Amino acid sequence: MAGGGQGRKLVELFYDVVSPYSWLGFETLCRYQHQWNIDLRFRPVFLAGIMKETGNQPPAMLPKRAEYMMSDIKRMGKYYQVPLQIPKDFFGMVIRSGSLSAMRFITAVDMTQPQFLEPASRALWMRLWCRDEDITQPDSLLAAAGEAGLPSEVAQKLLAMTSTPEVKNRLKETTEVALKYGAFGVPSVVAHVNGEPQLFFGCDRLELLGSVIGERWLGPVPTASKPRL
């Protein structure tokens, strides 16, 4: 796969809105897509599927790591200038409820309304990881779509699409692509350099990504302007 412009490199971001670290990577790459000579491609996947296939488990399942993660998320949100807040019922909202319906909805957006993929993804992260709101129920997905600027009738069609084989298969296929690249969690960033894919795991590897693709890293907020959230 190749980028769309002269010397441009394709950078794929595999993400799931259940992951706060995916949100940090997402916003940072959104800021850099106009700073770096890259074609940024958003690739919604199902994190639980990646975990199952690789034998991985959520970091919060290990008590000491969960304890660390609570403070780490707050520090990272401040540093990355992303309004991260930990849901009050963390295990209920994040671990038990999961993100399958949300990621199918995002996949439907990607398939039919790709111009709304960035704001729709952001709206779901804002609901779960900023305002402690549901992202599993149909009304919640429609509300997020409205926040992203999608017309109501379009959002209703997208919601209906989530139960179709086409959407289910697309999400599964994209998840399998991430696994093929070696992903074991999210965010997973794949940069295509000289015809070869290179995998970077985590929002804290974007400085290394910049080095590999020959671009300058200026921190998580490369301009003085506030991030558009």
Q: What is the CATH number of the domain that holds 182?
A: 3.40.30.10
Residue 221 included in any domain: no
Q: What pLDDT score does 120 carry?
A: 98
Q: Is residue 94 part of a domain?
A: yes
The whole-number pLDDT of residue 1 equals: 38
What is residue 92's predicted lDDT score, i.e. its pLDDT? 73
Crossing angle of helices 100-112/165-180, nearest 10°? Answer: 100
112 in any annotated domain: yes
Distance CA 228, CA 97 (A): 28
| Alpha-carbon gap, residue 67 to 87, rounded angstroms | 14
Question: What local confidence, expressed as pLDDT, does residue 65 receive?
Answer: 84
Q: Is 123 a member of any domain?
A: yes
**Domain assignment of residue 219, yes or no:** no
According to the model, what pLDDT value does residue 98 have?
A: 86
| Strand partners of residue 42 | 13
**74 is a domain residue:** yes
User: Strand order in 196-201's β-sheet?
Assistant: 38-44, 9-15, 188-193, 196-201
φ/ψ of 212, rounded to 5, equals -70, -35
Domain that holds residue 152: 9-213
Asked if residue 4 belongs to a domain, the reply is no
* ∠ Cα 110 144 228 (to 5°): 85
- Cα–Cα distance list, 138 to 7, 206, 224, 227 (Å): 42, 34, 38, 29
What pLDDT does 4 receive? 45
Which pLDDT value is given to residue 229?
Answer: 59
pTM value? 0.93
Q: Give whole-number Cα distances, 1 to 12, 87, 98, 123, in Å.
A: 11, 38, 32, 29
Instruction: Say how many domains are in the chain.
Output: 1
Please give the chain's pLDDT, 229 residues, in tens. Answer: 344 455 899 999 999 999 999 999 999 999 999 899 999 999 999 999 999 999 988 777 778 888 898 899 999 999 999 999 999 887 777 777 889 999 999 999 999 999 999 999 999 999 999 999 999 999 999 999 999 999 999 999 999 999 999 999 999 999 999 999 999 999 999 999 999 999 999 999 999 999 999 999 999 999 754 545 5
Q: What is the pLDDT of residue 223?
A: 78
Asked if the structure places residue 220 within a domain, the reply is no
Amino acid 3: pLDDT: 43
